[in-house]
Structure 1
Amino acid sequence: MAIKRNKRFNAEIATSSLSDIMFFLLLFFIIISTLANPNVIKMTLPKAESNEKTNKQLITLSVTEDKQFYIDKELTAFDNLEQSLLAKLDPAKEQTVVIRIPYNLQVQDLVDVLQIGVKHNLKFVIATSAQ
């Protein structure tokens, strides 16, 4: 009498290490997303109904409430602002200068900065925050 043994092969996938890998990937992307824009000085921006995001080559020009000028986090005097800005620009690339100015500064301060762009035919964009 021949007795048949039931030898079934059960395929099994070990998924315990996959959850660890997914956790580390999630942690990595959270940390990287907080470092996405390191060239920003914290300030309260004017509010706008709609914001447009851009992926162009950007140079950040920040003006603080005490009228200190920063080009990509480098402190620059207003007298040297034009030369420093032109030194940062690459004529071979189409670059945009993002002006980050507090909402409570005078309009004349913004106009003084924008006149540099008009003089040298530069593209300026004013940064705003969503309402």
Structure 2
Amino acid sequence: MPVRRNKRFHAEVATSSLSDIMFFLLLFFLIISTLANPNVIKMTLPKSKTNEKTNKQLITISVTEEKRFYVDKEEVGFEDLETKLLSKMDVDKNSTVVIRIPFNMQVQDLVDVLQIGVKNKLKFVIATSPK
């Protein structure tokens, strides 16, 4: 009587290395997403129902509640804001200026900054957070 051996092939997928790879990918994307945020100055922005994302070249003006002005993370006085902004615009002719101002600031503070753009014919956008 011949002995029959089980010669079937059982397909297996080794998943032990996949969990390690997924962990490293998750860690990588978490670190990169925190570094990709260009706005270091934290503030509460005004709320808006429609929020549009832009992929254009941007120059950021941030105004804090203490009325400190920052052009791309570099602090400048209000008197020097126009010259600093124009020097940045000379490098990038097609740049859009994004104004980040806290929601509880006075309208006059926003208008003072917007007058610089109107005077020099610059493209200004006000940053908001989704509602």
- TM-score class, shorter-chain normalisation, is 0.7 to 0.9
Query: 2:104 — aligned with what?
Result: 104
Contact 1:47 / 1:129 at 8 angstroms: preserved in 2?
A: yes
CA offsets, 1:20-49, max 9 Å, x none?
A: 101110121122222221333111111112
Query: 1:15 — aligned with what?
Result: 15
Q: TM-score, normalised by structure 2?
A: 0.86
Matched, 1:38 2:30: no
Which runs of structure 2 are paired with 1:1-131 in the superposition (5 Å)?
6-90=6-90, 93-131=93-131
The aligned length equals 131
- 4+ residue stretches of structure 1 with deviation over 6 A? 1-4
Could you tell me how far apart the structure 1 residues matched to 2:23 and 2:2 are? Answer: 52
Q: 1:75: Cα distance to partner? A: 0.3
Could you tell me how far apart the structure 2 residues matched to 1:39 and 1:31 are? Answer: 16
- Any stretches of 5+ residues in structure 1 without a counterpart? none
CA offsets, 1:47-75, max 9 Å, x none?
A: 11211111111111000111110011100
Q: Which amino acid aligns with 1:108?
A: Q
Of residues 81-90 and 8-17 in structure 1, the stretch that sits farther from structure 2 once superposed is: 8-17
Q: Which amino acid aligns with 1:26?
A: L
Could you tell me how far apart the structure 2 residues matched to 1:53 and 1:129 are? Answer: 11
Q: 1:67/1:92 Cα in 2 relative to 1: closer, same or farther (>3 Å)? A: closer
SS of residue in 2 equivalent to 1:89? helix
Q: TM-score, normalised by structure 1?
A: 0.86
